[in-house]
Amino acid sequence: MDGVTVTRLAELVAGGGVAVLSGAGLSTESGIPDYRGPTGRARRAEPMTYQRFTGSAQARQRYWARSHVGWRQIGQARPNAGHRAVAELERRGLLAGIVTQNVDGLHQAAGARRVIELHGGLDRVVCLSCRERTPRAELERRLRAANPGWEAAGARINPDGDAVLTDAQVAGFQVVDCEACGGMLKPDVVFFGENVPRPRVDECFALVAGASLLLVLGSSLTVRSGLRFVTKAASLGIPIAIVNQGETGGDADASLTLDAPLGPTLTELTARLPVPAQ
């Protein structure tokens, strides 16, 4: 870890008004893999698209079978030192808010409160007909009841919460529909090919525009979804600091970059900041 760079980062954060933009790299130390960071480079990621999910009963069967297995790992994941450090920065009054590209809910589990889930959350399910949202735990109970004796061990888990299963493992898995109206159920997350709701995007832009510093944590910034907020901050002359393992698409606009593990780095960052008087 570069102690000099961490000291510079602490000086930037100490001024407060920090908007955090977090990505999958922040959750890898909780056992959740990412797509493009060190844990993702050996994998060929093929995330579900909205068009395939809504257009094919077979695709939905495959998705829910994989997700049913994957949820066991995602649902049991616990915040790591990085999440706890971000929550501590919020507790100390240094954060304007958090925009997370993650769908695992670990910021909130660590105690953070001002969190905008850009891509939604896997802990909820939405009906595409009546729009009713229900807890994921309730869906899991119904899927277990509809598939007695069904077991499939996934070879690996993807960041969007699904396991990699064979066609034979998926065959026979029963999908359930909305109890209220019989409509199609979907995790309350934004799939590839689906747009983030405009009001949510506007809220994120407003948070960034009002910040004194944009702190990017664990995001490769290789897609527009996250990079647009870095571009916005740069256009407004707002300093940008990036902590990530590997290069990112926003490095050219950053005032400070640090290639290091998130947990130890953010723990060290909080240790270098003064604790406010109670």
The answer to whether 84 touches 109, Cβ cutoff 8 Å, is: no
CA-to-CA distance for 245 and 8, rounded, in angstroms? 18
Rg over CA atoms, the chain: 19
CA-to-CA distance for 248 and 267, rounded, in angstroms? 22
CA-to-CA distance for 96 and 114, rounded, in angstroms? 8
Burial of 259 from C-beta contacts in 10 A (0-12 / 13-18 / 19+) = middle
Q: Point out the catalytic residue in the list 68, 83, 107, 119.
A: 119
CA-to-CA distance for 135 and 185, rounded, in angstroms? 12
83 catalytically annotated: no
Burial of 175 from C-beta contacts in 10 A (0-12 / 13-18 / 19+) = middle
Question: What are the angstrom distances between the C-alpha of 240 and each of 13, 41, 217, 234?
Answer: 11, 26, 11, 7
CA-to-CA distance for 192 and 199, rounded, in angstroms? 19
Q: Tokens at residue 244, please?
A: 């990530």
CA-to-CA distance for 79 and 56, rounded, in angstroms? 35
Q: Residues with catalytic annotation?
A: 119
